[in-house]
Structures are given as C-alpha cells and as structure tokens.
Structure 1
C-alpha cells in the first residue's frame, strides 16, 4: 500500500482480507436468522439497497475521513462459505431446513453492487459512505462485517487526520501505538489507517511489511540502562562512511569530543561528568547504526547528561562522514526541554563549526494526544517529530464512530426507518451524492438526490436543504460538481482500490457548511 495507490489494476485478482478472521461467519447471529426467514418466505432474491453511513462526526468535530473500503471489497471478493462453516451453522440453527444450507453453499457476491466514496476522502454525517445493492439475504449477511471494517478504520483515520491538522504539515508524525492497541488486529489496523490519515511512519514492523508503510524506531530506556561503562564495548572500530579509512577506537574519539565540549566556553557549566553507562549505550548504538543514530536522551538527565553524550557521539560520527538522525525526548516538560536542546545544538554548531548541527532532529513522545500538541504549539517549542501511541490508536476520546447499515429501497420501492429520535430516521431511496465547489476551488456543500433526479449543474442556482431541520438551508451556485459515489464492485472489481493521499488542506474543511438536499 502507498498513499496514492495499491497498485493493482481493476481486473487483477483481489487478495483476501488482511485479517484471516474476516470470514462470512464474522457477523451477528441475527443476520443468519433473517437470511433464513427471507429464504423461508421466498424473499431472499428480492433486490435491496442499503446505505452505510454515520450519524455524527467523531471527537466533537466537523468531519470524518473514510477508511475501510479496500477491506470491504477484499471481503466480498472472497465471500464463500466453507463446508466447516456450513456444519457449524447447522449446529447453531438445528431447526432450519437442509435446503437453506444448500442455498448458503452457493452464495457469493457475484450479484452484488457496491458504490462508495473514495477511501481517504473527507466525509460527513448522513451521506452514505457506501451503497450496497443486491439480493436482500446476501446483502444482509454483509451488514455486520462491513460496519465492523469501516467503523474503526474511519474513526482512527479521522483521529490521525486531526493530529496531523494540529501538528501542522511540516512536522513528522510517527505512530507508536502497537503495544497499547486493542489486540493484534487493532494494532495492524491502526498502523494502516493512521498512515492513510496523514502519519509518516510506524514502529509496527508487521504493518510495514503488509502495507509498505515506512518504519521508524530507536532504542528504549532498557537499552541505555543495560550498559555500565564504555569499557564493556569490545569492538571499537568504525569505518568511515566513504570507506576510505577506519577509526580503530571510536570510543576514544567520542570521549575526545566530549572533553572538547566540556572545554567550550559557551557550554561550560551546563554539564559536568555525564553518565558513563548512557554514553556507552549511545556509542554501542552508533557503532551498530552509524547512519541512523537516534538517541533516547532522558534516561538520566536530559541537559546535564543525555544531550552532551549525544552530541559527543554525533560529532564523532560527523568526523567519519556520518550524520546523526537526532534525539528523542520521552518525559518532562517537552516544550521547555526542546527549546533548551535546540539552544545547545545551536551553540555546538557555532562553537565547533559543524554546518547544520543546529537543525538536528528533535522527536518527542510520552502519551501525546491532540490536546498536548495544541498546548505545545501555544507554549512554543522546537519539536520536529512526534511519536504518538495510546491516545491515537485507542481513539481514547471516543470509543466508536457509530456506523449504521439501513435498508433504503427494496424492489425499487423506497423504505424508511422512523423514530421518535429524529437523528435515527433514515433517508429513503437509492441516492446519488455530489460535492459542490465554489469559485476559489473550496468545497461548499455535499448534497444527496434521488437516483433518477437531475444532477446539479455548474453555474445553476440550487437550493440545498437539511432533511430534518427546516432552518438549515442555503442557495449554492456551484463552479464545479463532483459525483462522490463510484462503483467499486459489480460482481467483480470495477475500479482499482487506490487510497487517496490525505489532503493536508484541512483548513478548507471548516468552511464547509454541510446541508442535505
């Protein structure tokens, strides 16, 4: 997977769902009981249309980013009951006729159509993310897995997008949530959809392999505290980057640079004797990864030990033609520490004369979330990258998106779900959905029309109305009209399953005045 394409043409065979647990049995029992009742009544082949949508944008926000379409198409492309599935269903539905299970053996999705908004798109409440059309019994069996595959995917993609919006386009965002995710699939899904939502890399190696997501990571505090002193380092040799020479004692070279730093006027008094076990760990890591040396500097004392030790190793690497990747802060006042670290780097560049050293990368972690990033921005900081885990992948501030899957048409007859709670009233009939754009290219509004109604036209004044709130209405004269729903499946794959790069122009989202027609 890349952010712009999954690479496979529409005619290529579609792989199975990423998680092997995604099978026709990954559904609620009532889907099978309804399927049997449809079959028993002779209604199972009737043509039905269902909308998959959500009622309210998550996290108290105004938008959602759609995720999960690719996995839904993978699921239906491989939808088939195995004999062991049939045997299990017989055991839990013992009163059902044998002919029903014969019917299930033949069920696939060759008579199903799926229309959807492109994955990675910004979407809004009530507008269908997916429209699924086909035999009512078959489409009913797709309800729970589709909602499952879209719900968390869209929620975590949106969470990632919100973090990207707050962090800004220039910052690097790293997803570090695997160890805190809800199980292995939660971790894999989070890595994939955080990448779709605007993150740059993940620490999750399995996700890197599965989806071609860039991997990033360094060492832990355990690595630092496992060393006692530089005397433990046995192989001290390091070849220069261009291979022209070999430094036989890299440890001695680092210690010489540390002494030079201690004698430098502008740095004198900032640190004294640094922690030697930390220094040993940094040297060992640099010897292992001289081209990718990124050090965790807060195991003991950031400014009095971690940063001086890092700088000594980085300067020794620089002498051999390498460039250190940077440092990571994982505790303390991140805004203050990042500013102090940047000042130290600037002083080193000025006094030692190493061009670019002042711009050495500073990464921050430690239970970061959207609010933390906002607070850091308001305080002022020098952080270049954020490693974000728990609050990101668990979607801590909202448990679920709340997607629903509602029947809107059967046998070409509209159907509606009524409720005393107006937010739960469904919008009947098979729809077309359009996004209207203004003169400056910004999206103005999304509207829905009946399938057979004329589409909105460029330059033609349109009255857009909210279906449940008469006071929400607006006249719009679109300068461009984009039809949102595309056919991705019509018994076979119709369009490539390409993921849109998440557009970082999220500022325009807040200009959208979303009403329905």
Structure 2
C-alpha cells in the first residue's frame, strides 16, 4: 500500500531484547525495498498505463543482492518485466531482452550468417533466409529511396542469424551503425523475410540519439512498409528504447508525442539518484503498557507514543483522503461517522471529517514465532500495489508540487 510520512508501516511487539535485535534486519529489509518500489511507481506514473517498462539495472545495481532486490521491488512498483534472468527464475517475473551491440559488431560479412536456413512455419523445406533477406532489402530500399549498398552487411548477417535462431522472438537493435541507412532497412528486410515464412518479428530497440524523434520516423517507415507490401501488422511493430532513461526523459517523450511502446530503465531506477536512501527508523513507543516519547528539538524526529492502529479514510469517489492514527484501545472509526481529528504539522488545530469508507491498514502475519496468515504471492502484492496507487487522487500523485496527504 502507499505509505505516507509519519505513518508506521510495520509494528513489532515482543520481549524488549528480541525486538531490539530485530532492528537492523527489519530496516535493511524495508528501506531499499520501499525506495526502489517507490521509484518504479514514479516511472510508471510518468510513462502511463500503456507503455511497457523493463527493468535493466543488473549491471548498475549495488551488487548481486541489490540487483535481485531491484528486480523484485521494481516489479511491485509497476514494471512489467526484467532483463535479470535469475530474478525471473527466483520470483517468476517475466524476462525480456534484446540483441547486444557487440553481437552485431562481431559479424563482418553476410557469408558469416550462421545458421541461415529456416523451414516455413506451416512446414516444408528449409529456406535460405540470408538470400531471402537480400531480395527484400532491395525492395525496402527502393521504397525508402535509399541505396541498399549503405546497409551494413555484417549487421544484416547478425539479424539473419538471430532471426533464424529465434524466429518467433526476433527483435532488432537498430543503432549499431546508422538507423536510417542501415539498421532500419536491414531489420525490415529480415522481418519481411520471416513474414514470408510465416513468422512475425516482435519489435526493435533504440539505444542512442533523439529517441522520441527517431521513434516517430521508424513508425512512419513501418506503416509505409506495411501498406506497400500488404502486411497489416507491420505498422504496429513495437518500438523499445533505452539509454540512461530518467524521469525527465519520460516527460520529454510524453511532451513530444513519441511512438515508443516499451522503455528499458536501469541506472536511474535501481540506484534511485533523486534519493539514494530512504531513512526509515525503528522507534520504541511503548514498554509494558506505558507509552514512550522521544523528546528532541527537531520536531520531525519526535516519536508519537503508544501502540497505534492505522486507518485509511476514503471519500465518496473512492479516493483516500487521509490516514488516521489511533491508539489501540480507542474505538474503531466507521463509515459515515463524523470524526474530530488533529492533522500532524498543524499544532492545536482540530477538524472534522466524515469518511465514506474506512480501511484498517495493518495485518498480523507473524505471531508467537509462527506465520499466522498466508503470505501473498509476488503477483498479488504487485496487483494490490497498483490498485492502491490508482485510487490516489491525481493531486497527491503529481511528481511536481503534489498536494500534501494529511495524516
């Protein structure tokens, strides 16, 4: 669930020595997890619901353990898939990936394409895909009015080799050389060759340059090829981008009206550069039934004494508008009941609210050394997180100058 400042999202009861020993472990488990899930949610809010987001942070993460945590919690935060194969195996997260520049650069001539023969999907004798792609390259270049000699033959060989090996999962990386003169014509040629044999390419990726502008140019070419060669699905081939994507990048994509369908984000997701650490704390609030209060000149560091129950209050439209902290012994609020409350940060002020719905946020999962309630699966946690975020008022979800959420 979305969590707001000052609200305790985890409460621990037990012998003082035992709960003190748990402090470091619990903070280690929740700080980075909450931080990267929140960062992922921010990217999802900016990207919108229709663009696919792929976590690609393994190479930039803080070690192998941090990389696995980033894959897991960015998935909860709203990402659709990961390039981390181990995370996919351990957690069941969908795994996606593309060709590397080094793979394409390892080919120099078309003769190096291996394998190069592929049987039609409907059955029949294998066909030389390299030769078929060359014939399609001429037709594509005629349509685009670009000389076929400009297309890099090593790149074409790499595309052919990958397409024959993975005919149902062919995705081309277009910017190893020149997108317009080489990468795009070579991809279209191989994709159309696959189509002739009954297979369908699944997309392209860009990793440099003006990604928004190039995506629009590529979409125009795909639509032109689809119309000219009578391949209706060709115009909708997904376009993916990467290259140090940040929140600012997503704002620019939206502002420029790009044709991007999928975005791979690594460094700026897993390292959380806008706030590298979360800073959650673990504070004593009650001992043997007596409330405890930490006094300090810094108001933000003052604890709120006593064991509390947390309620989320919803308005008539179904949006949460306030979180209510009440002592355990206080009666639970009810829907339609007028409540007199004090909002944190407004000392001395009281206000009255009438919630349409009241939700108790805390659940007990561990009691007397045993798990007492089934733990939700990762997909269930992800679904709950995304539904909870969707219920928030747009005013509270703005990434710039959001309306403060009252507690």
TM class by shorter-chain length?
A: over 0.9
Residue ranges of structure 1 left out of the alignment (5+ in a row): 1-120
Give the equivalent residue in structure 1 for 2:72. Answer: 192
Tell me, yes or no, if the aligned pair for 2:138 and 2:148 is still in contact at 8 Å: no
Structure 1 position 411, deviation (Å): 0.2
**Partner Cα separation in structure 1 for residue 312 and residue 391 of structure 2:** 17
- Report SS of the residue matched to 2:340: strand
1:260 aligns with 2:139: yes
Tell me, yes or no, if the aligned pair for 2:107 and 2:155 is still in contact at 8 Å: yes
1:286 aligns with 2:163: yes
Give the equivalent residue in structure 2 for 1:59. Answer: none
CA RMSD of aligned residues (A): 1.5
Which one scores higher on RCO, CA 8 angstroms, separation ≥ 6? 1
Give the equivalent residue in structure 2 for 1:400. Answer: 277
Structure 1 position 507, deviation (Å): 6.9
**What are the superposed Cα offsets for residues 371-395 of structure 1, whole Å, 9 maximum, x if unpaired?**
1101111112110000000010011
Structure 1 position 460, deviation (Å): 1.2
Give the equivalent residue in structure 2 for 1:223. Answer: 103
Structure 1 position 350, deviation (Å): 1.1
Per the alignment, do residues 425 and 271 of structure 1 end up closer, same or farther by CA in structure 2, a change over 3 Å counting? farther
1:493 aligns with 2:371: yes
Give the equivalent residue in structure 1 for 2:338. Answer: 461
Tell me, yes or no, if the aligned pair for 1:437 and 1:481 is still in contact at 8 Å: yes
Please, which of 417, 425, 440 is the counterpart of residue 294 of structure 2?
417
Tell me, yes or no, if the aligned pair for 1:200 and 1:214 is still in contact at 8 Å: yes
**Partner Cα separation in structure 2 for residue 479 and residue 489 of structure 1:** 31
Please, which of 500, 503, 514 is the counterpart of residue 386 of structure 2?
503
- Report SS of the residue matched to 1:328: strand
**Partner Cα separation in structure 2 for residue 307 and residue 333 of structure 1:** 15
**Partner Cα separation in structure 2 for residue 484 and residue 356 of structure 1:** 46
Tell me, yes or no, if the aligned pair for 1:271 and 1:303 is still in contact at 8 Å: no
How many residues are matched? Answer: 393
1:136 aligns with 2:13: no
Please, which of 438, 452, 460 is the counterpart of residue 329 of structure 2?
452
Of 507-516 and 381-390, the range deviating more from structure 2: 507-516
TM-score by length of 1: 0.74
- Report SS of the residue matched to 1:435: strand
Per the alignment, do residues 389 and 479 of structure 1 end up closer, same or farther by CA in structure 2, a change over 3 Å counting? same
1:127 aligns with 2:7: yes
**Partner Cα separation in structure 1 for residue 367 and residue 305 of structure 2:** 22
TM-score by length of 2: 0.93
Structure 1 position 399, deviation (Å): 1.3
Give the equivalent residue in structure 2 for 1:372. Answer: 249
Residue ranges of structure 2 left out of the alignment (5+ in a row): 397-403
**Partner Cα separation in structure 1 for residue 147 and residue 228 of structure 2:** 15
**Partner Cα separation in structure 2 for residue 471 and residue 295 of structure 1:** 63
Q: Aligned runs of 1:245-324 on 2, under 5 Å?
A: 245-264=124-143, 267-269=144-146, 273-324=150-201
Structure 1 position 467, deviation (Å): 3.6
Tell me, yes or no, if the aligned pair for 1:415 and 1:429 is still in contact at 8 Å: yes
Please, which of 167, 175, 189 is the counterpart of residue 47 of structure 2?
167
- Report SS of the residue matched to 2:232: coil
Q: Which has the larger radius of gyration?
A: 1
**Partner Cα separation in structure 1 for residue 276 and residue 125 of structure 2:** 55
Of 466-475 and 314-323, the range deviating more from structure 2: 466-475
**Partner Cα separation in structure 2 for residue 406 and residue 136 of structure 1:** 12
- Report SS of the residue matched to 2:59: helix
